[in-house]
Amino acid sequence: DTGVSQDPRHKITKRGQNVTFRCDPISEHNRLYWYRQTLGQGPEFLTYFQNEAQLEKSRLLSDRFSAERPKGSFSTLEIQRTEQGDSAMYLCASSRMGEQYFGPGTRLTVT
Amino acid sequence: AQSVTQPDIHITVSEGASLELRCNYSYGATPYLFWYVQSPGQGLQLLLKYFSGDTLVQGIKGFEAEFKRSQSSFNLRKPSVHWSDAAEYFCAVGGGGNNNDMRFGAGTRLTVKP
């Protein structure tokens, strides 16, 4: 068990550019979650997958955000036309039975 | 809708002193309750969880928490704090067998004085 991994750990981009983050869950976990965390706040739920199916999306997930989990293993989160308000830590978590295990996060800075 | 309140934004304790971090939740049914710890620039690590049964749960690193339904609380405690416990602590509530709709509190930052 190598834990949840995320790549990259840090991303600096200019406003208007597209960015993509990757999450590799714990191998036997069938559920995968994306959260956003801003400074001084707890994580906020964005979306979740059960295997390859995206089953729930938060209203925080605007049309510029899209997530995929094509083979039920790793997942990608893409943000198109980034805005300064997208600057945050993006956390991925996976689970099998209830408790979620988190990755180290990707810190996005939009300049 | 479920929600979590952590009343203390920042707490400072001396090393070796006892610690209690407060958490109040709002949830319509039987909640699943969690405490996570986050070190700077890192992801969240699960300290302990409550699903059912004994209301006093033991976690890692010497932490424990007590579920009190009558007070809608799930406070985290440690009898003797170590300098390495300095971090941000998050309480979370989820529900149902899938636990997909988990909500986090805003966190409590713990500073440990030598």
A80-87 long-range contacts, Cβ below 8 Å, gap at least 24? A80/A18, A81/A16, A81/A17, A81/A18, A82/A13, A82/A14, A82/A15, A82/A16, A82/A17, A82/A18, A82/A19, A82/A108, A82/A110, A83/A15, A83/A110, A84/A15, A84/A110, A84/A111, A85/A110, A86/A110, A87/A38
The nearest alpha carbon in chain A to B108 belongs to A40
Contact present, B65 and B5 (Cβ < 8 Å): no
Q: Indicate whether B102 pLDDT > 90.
A: no
pLDDT of residue A56: 84
pLDDT number for residue A96 = 80
Query: Does residue B70 sit in helix, strand or coil?
Result: helix
Question: Is B98's pLDDT higher than 60?
Answer: no
The pLDDT tens digits of the residues spanning B11-69 come to 999 999 999 999 999 987 778 999 999 998 788 999 999 988 889 999 999 999 999 99
- Name the residue with higher pLDDT: A71 or B106: B106
The per-residue pLDDT for B84 is 94
Sign, CA torsion A52/A104/A65/A59? positive
Q: What is the mean pLDDT of residues B77-99?
A: 87
* A102–B43 CB contact, under 8 Å: yes
DSSP state string for B51-72: -SS-SEEE-GGG-EEEEEGGGT
Supply the pLDDT for residue A1: 55
pLDDT value of position B41: 76
Longest dimension (CA), chain B: 43
Among A71, A99, A5, smallest CA distance to B102 is for: A99
Residues from chain B contacting residue A40 (CB–CB below 8 Å): 106-107
Task: Name the nearest CA neighbour of B42 among B90, B87, B107.
Answer: B87
Written as tens digits, the pLDDT of chain A (111 aa) is 579 999 999 999 999 999 999 999 999 899 999 999 998 899 999 999 999 999 888 888 889 999 999 988 999 999 999 999 999 999 999 988 778 899 999 999 999
Q: Which of A10, A35, A38, A102 to mutate to test the interface with B (most CBs of B within 10 A)?
A: A102
* Residue B68 Cα, gap to closest chain A Cα (Å): 20
- pLDDT above 80: residue B99: no
